[in-house]
């Protein structure tokens, strides 16, 4: 018998002072049986960082041709492709050919350092790629907020992120590893 996805409902209020974006989002996020809560929360962080009315979650980690999050225009063109974790470098190269902007949000510091060392030369050639790294400490703190029904407030200012529920507030600042050389 196949395991089913676990559904998380999130009421997310975002105040992004860096981008001048303010919005409230009611999200339903499916967590694949093989996905950890830590990864789910990193995906939610990605949504908060790049929130937009057109930003949507992809079909999940079992789908190769879709990102974790993406923003498409009315014609279906991919404006922003967002992946979480440590994907194959070829996947990011293909995404760079399909999207105006590509963002990778990496976590698991030790594995990320090895992955980056192995792929640094190829990744530097991807002019549309942004890489952000979330520390192990920040990822663990994010995971403490995970609940099947979440009401979260997110404030972003000068690269710092404050994410809080009714009882806790965590502060994190993803490290910028690579910025796009140009936008599409």
At 15, which CATH number? 3.10.640.10
Residue 128 lies in a domain: yes
Could you give the dihedral angle defined by the CA atoms of residues 17, 150, 177 and 22, in that order, rounded to the nearest 10 degrees?
Answer: -20
Residue 136 lies in a domain: yes
Which stretches of 74-184 are assigned E, i.e. beta strand? 78-84, 99-106, 129-133, 149-157, 160-164, 169-172, 175-178
**Torsion over CA of 35, 4, 53 and 71, rounded to 10 degrees?**
60
Q: Is residue 183 part of a domain?
A: no
Give residue 3's pLDDT: 79
Q: Tell me, yes or no, whether 138 lies in a domain.
A: yes
Pairing state between β 99-106 and 78-84: parallel
Q: What's residue 13's pLDDT?
A: 98
Inter-CA distances, 11 with 8, 116, 130, 136, Å:
10, 34, 27, 25
Question: What pLDDT, in 10s, does the model give residues 110-156?
Answer: 999 999 999 999 999 999 999 999 999 999 999 999 999 999 999 99
Q: Is residue 65 part of a domain?
A: yes
Domain hosting residue 74, numbered range: 6-178
User: What was the pLDDT predicted at 184?
Assistant: 45
Q: Is the pTM of this model over 0.75?
A: yes
**Has residue 159 been placed in a domain?**
yes
Q: Looking at the domain assignment, is residue 144 inside a domain? A: yes
Tell me the chain's radius of gyration from C-alpha atoms.
16
The count of domains in the chain is: 1
Contacts of residue 159, Cβ cutoff 8 Å, sequence gap at least 6: 18, 173, 174, 176
Separation of alpha carbons 15 and 9, rounded Å: 19
- In degrees, rounded to 5, the angle at the alpha carbon of residue 40 between the alpha carbons of residues 74 and 121 is 75
Length of the chain: 184
What are 46-103's pLDDT values in tens digits?
999 999 999 999 976 666 789 999 999 999 999 999 999 999 999 999 999 999 999 9
**Would residue 87 count as lying in a domain?**
yes
């Amino acid at each position: 018998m196949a395991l089913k996805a676990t559904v998380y409902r999130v009421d997310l209020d975002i105040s992004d002072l860096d981008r001048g974006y303010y919005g409230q989002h009611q999200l339903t996020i499916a967590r694949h049986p093989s996905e950890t809560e830590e990864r789910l929360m990193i995906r939610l962080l990605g949504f908060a960082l790049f929130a937009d009315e057109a930003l949507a979650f992809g079909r999940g980690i079992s789908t190769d041709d879709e990102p974790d999050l993406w923003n498409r225009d009315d014609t279906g063109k991919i404006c922003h492709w967002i992946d979480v974790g440590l994907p194959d470098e070829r996947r990011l190269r293909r995404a760079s050919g399909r999207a105006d902007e590509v963002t990778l949000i990496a976590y698991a510091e030790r594995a990320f350092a090895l992955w980056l060392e192995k792929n640094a030369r190829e990744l530097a050639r991807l002019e549309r790629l942004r890489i952000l790294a979330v520390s192990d400490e920040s990822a663990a703190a994010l995971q403490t907020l995970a609940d099947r029904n979440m009401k979260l407030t997110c404030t972003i200012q000068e690269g710092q992120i404050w994410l809080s529920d009714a009882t806790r507030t965590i502060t994190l600042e993803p490290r910028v590893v690579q910025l796009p050389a140009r936008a599409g």
